[in-house]
Chains A and B, each alone.
Chain A
Amino acid sequence: MIDWQSFTPVSAFTGGMIIGLATALLLLIAGRIAGISGIVGGLIELRRGDFAWRAAFVSGLLLAPWLWHWLGELLPVRIETGHAVLALAGLAVGIGTRYGSGCTSGHGVCGLSRLSPRSMVATVLFMAVGMVVVYVVRHILG
């Protein structure tokens, strides 16, 4: 059943288009794919000569909530997950996105935009697993 109270198609689609614009800018000027896990992972490796654009991209991303807050009210953030589970989830996301060569941005947005079969497989898999995990946590354990 669709939760019409929470469903925000207009801001979701508009926000998505803005993400698409950011992706286009990075691709057409820097020649790089806006995949967050890959960009951050490359920073951590510290052994490449392409540090500058990665650091610049991440700096911009980190400044975004501050610019938003300066212009207006930040949207509500609701997290009910405990710290231990969050840490476990972070570990899984860190290792998984690096092994799988991408996350929601690299595979889900960029990969699907360029019709990459690898990214289609990755996106279907992480979405399906995410749905199974939420089902187990909320409807079987919960």
Chain B
Amino acid sequence: MEVYLDNSATTRCYPEVGELVYKVMCRDYGNPSSMHRKGVEAEHYVKESKETLARLLKVNAKEIFFTSGGTESDNLALIGTARAARRSGNHLITSAIEHPAILNTMRHLEEEEGFRVTYLPVDANGQIKLEALREALCKETILVSVMYVNNEVGAVQPVEQAARIVKSYNPAILFHTDAVQGFGKYRIYPKRLGVDLLSASGHKIHGPKGIGFLYINERVKIIPIVYGGEQQKNIRSGTENVPGIAGIGLASKMIYRDLDMKVALMRELKEHFLGGVTKIPNTTIHGLTDENSAPHIISVGFAGVRSEVLLHALEEKGIYVSSGSACASNHPAVSGVLKGIGAAREYLDATLRFSMSEFTTKEEIDYTLETLYNCVPVLRKFTRR
């Protein structure tokens, strides 16, 4: 049995999306900038995708910009707005548990471009401390970036409250949210939340890799970070990735179809999994398990088992999961998020992330629990003495 529980790393593409991407690549392959019919045809795909995304976010289609993925969206949002607002101030705020696409971009702005960055701490649930945000805001602040859903423990951030705090302090301060893990699981309406910029990615929502988008409120001043043929209103040059754009549009449409039902199902499975996994002695669930946690992410610590070993043991049984977060697990450094939420030491190197999708079934969860019941005690028997 193959059980894919690493949907926060990437997801299986919807077959319909795969077919559409193929069609656009091989049949409707025009360049949207071309003057002829072939180009117009391609432009239609871009337009349609923008409109789909705009409808889902309740924003204007001209506020959607396509990028190569979540990382580029985050880079454009932070670097593009920070540089544009440089004369108004040099202070940026983010949280300590952001994805590396945010943290390392902030670090760059700090080290190379002279900005000052405040990293907000999180509580034991993995949510940012709003009090700390209030204290951090100052005259120099130009941009605040807080993720929608944390990718490692699934904590949903109080984005709306945070944005309200920021905007009531000074409405000119921009608010960005990295919604890579939240888009497709929540109905997110940036204009109602007070969010000026929002990043999302195609391959986390059963769409293609190499495509993402950034919502940019039309009032936001932003300067490009890549230069070229001035496509997409010169905010993001480069021939549009039309197959990817068509793909992310269709995938978004599909993932939001019957969303409530899908999310309810994931919650049910999550409950079921949590009930089962906590039967194993000396395990802990990181972060929250209620409505304030993402329906699809479960972070479990197994004391006395190295996460990498358990990961490979599950792999042998056809179960695919992550240790910590897939993006950060290339380097052996212990997860900053787990430390941030104050997880006990024995769990830092012993935590797995199980992340579901709408395709996850109860049989798969049962099989995973069964496998854990067998593997964990065996692996605990053979640990480093």
* Genuine A/B complex: no
**Which residues does A use to contact B, with CB under 8 Å?**
none
**Which residues does B use to contact A, with CB under 8 Å?**
none
